[in-house]
C-alpha cells in the first residue's frame, strides 16, 4: 500500500501546467493510478477532456509514452500496443521485463461509443488496465448526457426543461457489466479516496491480464459546484452510497468502504447545480426514486460482498 510520502517522492507521470479546469478531478485520477505502478507505464487515451487538456501541440503534459488515436478506441489501441510488446518481447527485440499498459477513457469513450472496443479488448485477455475517469456526461463537448449520467441530472442534451426535468434514466451499471466479463480484477473507486485509488491501482498492476477500474470523477463544470469541493464531492458520492467503493477479484466481491452513517442522497444532490431543478416543488418523486434505486443497488452489492 503506497504512503503519501512514497507518492510525493515519485517522478510525476503527468506534469502540471496543463489546461484542465480548476478543480478538475481527471488529472488526480491519472496521477494516482500511474504513481501506483512500480514498472514503466505506456498510456493510451480516448479523445476527450483528458487528451485535450494535456496534449495541445506543441505542448505535452505527459512524462510517460502516450498515444491518442480516436474517441472510441482507447482499449483497442492499447491492445495493439500490448500485442506489439508481446511480439517484440518474444523475439528478444525489447529489453524491459514488464510494462504496465494503461488505457484511459471518459465515460463517453468507455460506457458509450467505446463500449464495444473495451469489451473486445477485455475478452481477448490483453495484459492491460482500463481506467474510466467517469464524470457522468460528455464534458469535453459541453455536458451532454451519457449512459453514465445519473437520473435527474440536467445536461445539454437532457436539459431540465418545462416538461422534462433532466435525464429520465438511471445510469448504466458498467462496473457490473465488466464483472460479467469474468476479469481477474474489476474495481470502483472515486476521487477523494487517494489511498483506495492507489491501492486498487497497485493491486491491478500486480495482476497479469485484463483489468478494469471505474473511477468517479467530479467535474466542477458539468456538475456545477465550487471547484474547491472536488474531493469532497467524491466522498459524498460514497457516503450516500450513490457510488460505492468496491473491488471484485476473480469473481469475489469486497466492499472497500462502508460509510459509518449512510447519508441521504439529497446531501449529494443539493450541492450540485446539475440537480438544482429537483428542489422545485413537484420533483419530489424524482428524488424519491433516486433514493430508492440507490438503496436497491447498495443492498444488492452488500449481498454480493457478504457471499
Q: What is the nearest approach in angstroms of other proteins to the Cβ of residue 100?
A: 11
Residues forming contacts to other proteins in the complex (CB under 8 A) are 40, 42, 44, 51-52, 55-58, 60, 62-70, 72-73, 76-88, 90-91, 94, 96, 99, 116-117, 119-121, 123-124
Q: How far apart are CA 228 and CA 207, in angstroms?
A: 35
Nearer to other proteins, 85 or 193 (CB): 85
Closer to other proteins by Cβ: residue 100 or 189: 100
Per the listing, cell 467524491 goes with: 234
Measuring CA to CA, which residue among 152, 155, 158 is closest to residue 286? 152
Instruction: Rank residues 117 and 256 by Cβ distance to other proteins and give the closer one.
Output: 117
Residue 229's beta-bridge partner residues?
none
Q: Would you say 61 and 68 are in contact if contact means Cβ atoms under 8 Å apart?
A: no
d(CA 96, CA 192): 33
The answer to whether the bond into 58 is cis (omega within 30° of 0) is yes
Q: How far is the CB of 212 from other proteins (least distance, A)?
A: 16
CB of 29 to other proteins, least distance (A): 19
Please, which residues have CB within 8 angstroms of residue 235's CB and are 6 or more apart in sequence? 190, 192, 193
Q: What residues form DSSP beta bridges with 211?
A: 129, 185
Q: How far is the CB of 226 from other proteins (least distance, A)?
A: 28
Angle at Cα 179 formed by Cα 28 and Cα 265, nearest 5°?
A: 60
Q: How far is CA 306 from CA 179, 197, 201, 212, 252, in A?
A: 16, 22, 23, 22, 10
| Alpha carbon of residue 115 to chain centroid | 14
Whole-angstrom distance, CA of residue 305 vs CA of residue 307:
6
When the beta carbons of 33 and 216 are compared against other proteins, the nearer one is: 33
Nearer Cβ to other proteins (49/191): 49
Closer residue to other proteins in complex, CB, 65/161: 65
Least Cβ distance, residue 114 to other proteins (angstroms): 10
Q: How near is the Cβ of 13 to other proteins at its closest, in Å?
A: 9
CA distance 17 to 61: 7
- Is residue 62 within a helix (H) or strand (E), and if so which, with residue range? none
Closest approach of other proteins to the CB of residue 37, in Å:
12
Q: 69 vs 283, which CB is nearer to other proteins? A: 69
CB of 93 to other proteins, least distance (A): 8
Q: Which is nearer to other proteins, 84 or 303 (CB)?
A: 84
Amino acid at each position: 500500500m503506497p504512503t503519501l510520502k512514497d507518492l510525493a517522492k515519485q517522478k510525476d507521470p503527468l506534469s502540471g501546467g496543463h489546461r484542465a479546469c480548476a478543480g478538475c478531478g481527471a488529472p488526480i485520477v491519472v496521477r494516482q493510478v500511474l504513481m501506483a505502478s512500480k514498472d514503466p507505464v505506456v498510456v493510451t487515451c480516448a479523445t476527450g477532456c483528458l487528451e485535450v487538456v494535456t496534449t495541445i501541440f506543441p505542448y505535452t503534459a505527459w512524462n510517460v509514452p502516450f498515444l491518442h488515436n480516436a474517441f472510441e478506441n482507447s482499449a483497442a489501441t492499447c491492445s495493439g500496443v500490448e500485442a506489439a510488446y508481446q511480439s517484440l518481447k518474444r523475439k528478444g527485440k525489447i529489453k524491459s521485463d514488464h510494462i504496465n499498459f494503461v488505457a484511459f477513457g471518459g465515460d463517453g469513450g468507455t460506457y458509450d461509443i467505446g463500449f464495444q472496443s473495451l469489451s473486445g479488448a477485455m475478452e481477448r485477455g490483453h495484459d492491460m488496465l482500463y481506467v474510466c475517469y467517469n464524470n457522468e456526461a460528455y464534458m469535453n463537448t459541453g455536458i451532454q448526457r451519457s449512459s453514465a449520467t445519473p437520473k435527474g441530472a440536467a445536461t445539454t442534451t437532457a436539459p431540465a426543461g418545462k416538461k422534462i426535468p433532466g435525464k429520465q434514466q438511471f445510469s448504466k451499471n458498467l462496473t457490473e457489466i465488466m464483472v460479467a466479463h469474468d476479469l481477474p480484477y474489476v474495481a470502483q473507486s472515486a476521487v477523494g479516496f487517494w489511498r483506495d485509488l492507489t491501492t486498487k491501482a497497485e493491486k491491478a498492476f500486480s495482476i497479469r491480464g485484463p483489468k478494469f477500474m471505474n473511477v468517479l470523477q467530479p467535474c466542477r463544470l458539468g456538475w456545477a459546484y465550487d471547484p474547491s469541493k472536488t474531493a469532497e464531492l467524491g466522498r459524498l458520492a460514497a457516503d450516500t452510497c450513490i457510488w460505492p467503493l468496491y473491488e471484485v477479484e476473480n469473481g469475489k466481491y469486497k466492499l472497500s468502504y462502508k460509510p459509518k452513517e449512510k447519508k441521504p442522497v439529497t446531501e449529494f444532490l443539493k450541492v450540485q447545480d446539475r440537480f438544482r431543478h429537483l428542489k422545485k416543488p413537484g420533483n419530489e418523486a424524482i428524488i424519491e426514486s433516486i433514493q430508492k434505486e440507490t438503496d436497491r443497488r447498495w443492498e444488492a452489492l452488500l449481498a454480493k460482498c457478504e457471499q
